[in-house]
Structure 1
């Protein structure tokens, strides 16, 4: 990484420079490991929340679909759960779907993007679910 060489100490002692480079490489490895650990923790939390959401919505007879990074397998540290509620639901059923999804996401401390198919045009729903 060129940036680490710019910050290296100005010293005629090459061993100090090599030690600094080694330190930076190990620090980046530790930093990357911490980021990966956080991503794995959030992925587990999001997966667990999704399983609870999916199970509860299925039991309630509410058709739904997961999409986005969790569904595609490219979940990142700051990703959220993207959920589409399908069909034309009554206000009570909408509220029930919202409560189920929001409660599970909040418990897992994971963001939630919740969409209702009936609020969107057919082309928008297709674009969202295909993306």
Structure 2
């Protein structure tokens, strides 16, 4: 492995650890508020890389206040990390897509 490969691997590992720590806090805070969130995509499939984002599937209420609360909860934890995220509300996609996300990722 050359120096650039080692640097990329180290940065990817650091970024993955940061993402995992943030997502752990998100899931804990969401559960405390009665919100069910599933991690999907590259982080769930252990394929998180330097340019990956965090993909979260939110189950439950479609109420605007609920959505705002979830968006704020996630943004608060990921702010300042330079890790982008996607919030996918299960109520916005078909049941088949939800199953696909849960089984296969994004």
The TM-score, its normalising length taken from structure 1, stands at: 0.74
Greater displacement, 36-45 / 84-93: 84-93
Matched, 1:40 2:13: yes
1:107 Cα deviation after fit: 3.1
Once the two structures are superposed, residues 16-40 of structure 1 have per-residue CA deviations (whole angstroms, 9 ceiling, x without a partner) of xxxxxxxxxxxx6111111111101
Shift of 1:89: 3.4
Shift of 1:73: 1.1
TM-score by length of 2: 0.90
For this pair of structures, how many residues does the alignment match? 104
RCO higher in structure (CA 8 A, sep ≥6):
2
State the Cα distance separating 1:90 from its structure 2 match. 1.9
Q: Is the strand fraction higher in 1 or 2?
A: 2
**Structure showing greater Rg:** 1
Residue in 1 that maps onto 2:74? 101
Distance 2:36 2:86 in 1: 16
Q: What per-residue deviation string (whole Å, max 9, x for no partner) do you get for residues 85-111 of structure 1?
A: 001332111110111112212232211
Aligned to 2:28: 55
Unpaired runs of at least 5, structure 1: 1-27
